[in-house]
Amino acid sequence: MQRSVLREKVIEEIGQIPERKLSEVYTVLHFFRLGIETAKRQPQDIMRFAGCWQDMPDQEFQEFLHEIQERRQHAFSGRIARETIIS
């Protein structure tokens, strides 16, 4: 089905919806469109960081890993054991 034909069919269907329900349809369409835009943008945002540690000297990278481990231990140290167990 051609794009313009499908768009026309969607518009026709919207035209059949009672006025009092249009706000609900708008909300669905609006969030659907935002989701599509976010999905398009997300891989590009993630890929900006691909390989960013590639040129880091080994010593600096090891210090970085150690710092991450310490921060995680500190962040989870106040939790009760049952909060961190995956069942």
- Whether residue 73 lies inside any domain: the answer is yes
Scan for tokens 């794009």, then name that residue.
3
Residue 85: its pLDDT value, please? 60
- Whether residue 86 lies inside any domain: the answer is no
pLDDT digits (tens, 9 = 90+) for 25-70: 999 999 988 888 777 666 666 666 777 777 888 888 889 889 989 8
- C-alpha 76/C-alpha 11 separation (Å) is 51
- Whether residue 83 lies inside any domain: the answer is no
- Whether residue 85 lies inside any domain: the answer is no
Distance of CA 47 to CAs 37, 40, 57, Å? 16, 12, 21
Residue 8: its pLDDT value, please? 92
- Whether residue 36 lies inside any domain: the answer is yes
pTM (whole model) above 0.75: no
- C-alpha 56/C-alpha 33 separation (Å) is 39
Vertex 23 angle, CA 38 and 28, to 5° = 30
Domain that holds residue 39: 3-77
- Whether residue 29 lies inside any domain: the answer is yes
- Whether residue 82 lies inside any domain: the answer is no
Residue 37: its pLDDT value, please? 77
- Whether residue 25 lies inside any domain: the answer is yes
Count structural domains, the chain.
Answer: 1
